[in-house]
Amino acid sequence: MSTSDIALIAHLMRRAGFGATRAELEAYAVDGYEATVDRLLDSAAEDDVPMDMLYRYHPDHSGMIGTGGVTAYWLYRMVNSKRPLQEKVALFWHGIFATGYSKLTQGRVLMDQIDMFRRQGMGDVRTLLVELSRDPSMILWLDNHDNHKTAINENFGRELLELFSMGVGNYSEDDIKEAARAFTGWTIGNAGYMERRAQNDSLWPYGRLNLHFEYRPEDHDDGEKSFLGETGKLTGEDIVEIICRQPATARFMSRHMYSFFVADEPPVTQWPYSEPRDPAAIEILSRAYFESGYDVGEMLRVMFNSDFFKSRDSWYEKVKSPAELVSGVLRLTGELNKPDPKLQGAASEMSTMGQSLLNPPSVEGWHAGVEWIDTGNLVERINFASERFSDVNQPGIKAMIGKSMADAGGVASPERLVQSCLDQLGAIEVSEPTRAVLLAHAENLKSSSGGHENAVGEMLRLVASTPEFQKG
């Protein structure tokens, strides 16, 4: 296998997963790039997360109280799952269909939503949007339990069009009202009691009660409606079907996908006023959307195999989100691969860096890209990675040091030390200025008394602070 094969698969794993060790990359490279893409997309692959073990040692992973347990559970999956793209796609949809604990005050129903993204997130958009519309957390989050036949609440209908499928400028205010009418009667069981418990942050008497979807035909407006030029006794499912047929939906989904997996686009609110960074790429993805019958998995396959994804122009251009950074570091160190009281603390690191999973700042989700980095967050990001790489007792660090020492025959030149560490951290390629800094530090380490093990540890920590490591 060539170095370029390894480097390209490393790029794929940074974007379609949470990075990979050098050993993992070499294993993928044996099968080749396209086979690795196929493996990532394989929806039939068995879920390898031992739920019985997690539930035994972490009662809070059942998720009824607070976000700590469910966030720790999700982090465990991101760190340990053999299906990293499934977790990445769940993260992708969570950022778009942002639903938050601040209003729901319950983790379990959010965890169920993420499970739905895991299950349906690489399937067809039609089913995904219908499931989202029936999702109890979304119903409570956007007040659809208050959307009645006699008095509509437009909140969900508006966001379905504006933030979840088409974007501003592609529908009218009347379309919003008609969509809201179509979703009347889509509510949750015991809506009044559940809403009050959420407002009171009540866990009494016996903990939270999970929410379930309820369709109330007597509260559904089954009259004639006109939506995006189509008229009839439209239901919620019909609204989704019409939305999926729109070219604007194809472009909207494609632009989101491009922004998350390839290169940063401006925030969604600016999309009506700014052209995509790569219009041809959006066109390719939009075509895949229609040709596949709105299938997200096929869009991803086209994207990962495209020249615009593989192009070096997009490598190291995306700032890792806190979830990507923390998960990636923990995958490299090989820790937290079994139940551990430290799991929740590790999950809270993501919040410290500005991303509280399951509790986004608003319905718009997080503003990603360079906004992940400000002075405070950058220090947190570097400190976290540096501290984790400092623990030479972690299995992943031990393995990296061992491999580096074997490569170097025990005594490495500065060049070999730097290259070995970049390799072990996932075949990272760095700019010449970055390499010069790393080499200068490696020269200094030659005269230190800590030996090669210490030098590797020092170099791993320094790499953690480079732009190439902080990006992906």
Partner 1 sequence: MTTTSKAEFLKYDRTLGVAAMEFRGFYYPVDAAVRGDGRIYGLSRSHEGDPRGVRVCMLDLESEYYGVFGSIGEGDGQFTWAASIAIDKDDKVYVGDEYLERISIFDADGNFLDKWGTPGTESGQINGPCGLAFDSDDHLYMSDHRNNRIQKFTRDGQYISDFGSEGSGDGEFDLPWGLTVSPGGDVYVADWRNDRIQRFTPDGDFVSKHGESGDGDGQFNRPSSVAVDGEGYMYVADWGNERVQILDPDGGFVMKLRGEATVSPWAQQFLDANLDESRLRANSNLRTAENIRGDSEHELSSHIEHIFWAPVSVKLDGAGRLYVVDRNRHRIQVYARA
Residues binding partner 1 (CB under 8 A): 52, 55-60, 62, 64-66, 68-69, 72, 108, 112, 115-116, 134, 189-190, 192-193, 196-197, 200, 202-207, 209-215, 341-345
- Return the SS3 of 396: helix
Residues present in the chain in total: 472
- Return the SS3 of 123: coil
> CA distances (Å), 14 to each of 317, 318, 427, 432, in order?
11, 10, 11, 21
Amino acid at 62: S
In the complex with partner 1, the residue whose CB is nearer, 15 or 208, is 208
| Residues paired with residue 187 on neighbouring β-strands, in sequence order | 214
User: From the CB of 247, what's the least distance to partner 1, in Å?
Assistant: 32
In the complex with partner 1, the residue whose CB is nearer, 156 or 372, is 156
| Residues paired with residue 471 on neighbouring β-strands, in sequence order | 319
Residues 162, 120 contacting (CB under 8 angstroms): no
In the complex with partner 1, the residue whose CB is nearer, 197 or 441, is 197
> CA distances (Å), 3 to each of 10, 135, 412, in order?
10, 45, 20
User: From the CB of 65, what's the least distance to partner 1, in Å?
Assistant: 8
- Taking the C-alpha atoms of residue 471 and residue 403, their distance in angstroms, rounded to an integer, is 24
User: From the CB of 70, what's the least distance to partner 1, in Å?
Assistant: 10
Q: How far is CA 343 from the centre of its chain?
A: 19
In the complex with partner 1, the residue whose CB is nearer, 49 or 439, is 49
Helical (H) or strand (E) element with 214: strand 213-215
- Taking the C-alpha atoms of residue 120 and residue 125, their distance in angstroms, rounded to an integer, is 9
In the complex with partner 1, the residue whose CB is nearer, 82 or 193, is 193
User: From the CB of 47, what's the least distance to partner 1, in Å?
Assistant: 12
**What is the DSSP code string of 170-185?**
SS-HHHHHHHHHHTTT
User: From the CB of 106, what's the least distance to partner 1, in Å?
Assistant: 10
User: From the CB of 342, what's the least distance to partner 1, in Å?
Assistant: 8
For residue 137 the two structure tokens come to 């957390």
- Return the SS3 of 127: helix
In the complex with partner 1, the residue whose CB is nearer, 214 or 407, is 214
In the complex with partner 1, the residue whose CB is nearer, 35 or 51, is 51
In the complex with partner 1, the residue whose CB is nearer, 66 or 361, is 66
User: From the CB of 217, what's the least distance to partner 1, in Å?
Assistant: 14
In the complex with partner 1, the residue whose CB is nearer, 71 or 420, is 71
User: From the CB of 210, what's the least distance to partner 1, in Å?
Assistant: 4
User: From the CB of 349, what's the least distance to partner 1, in Å?
Assistant: 13
- Taking the C-alpha atoms of residue 115 and residue 113, their distance in angstroms, rounded to an integer, is 5
> CA distances (Å), 43 to each of 12, 34, 40, 266, 324, in order?
18, 16, 8, 31, 21
Enumerate residues 6+ apart whose C-beta is below 8 A from 246. Answer: 165, 166, 170, 228
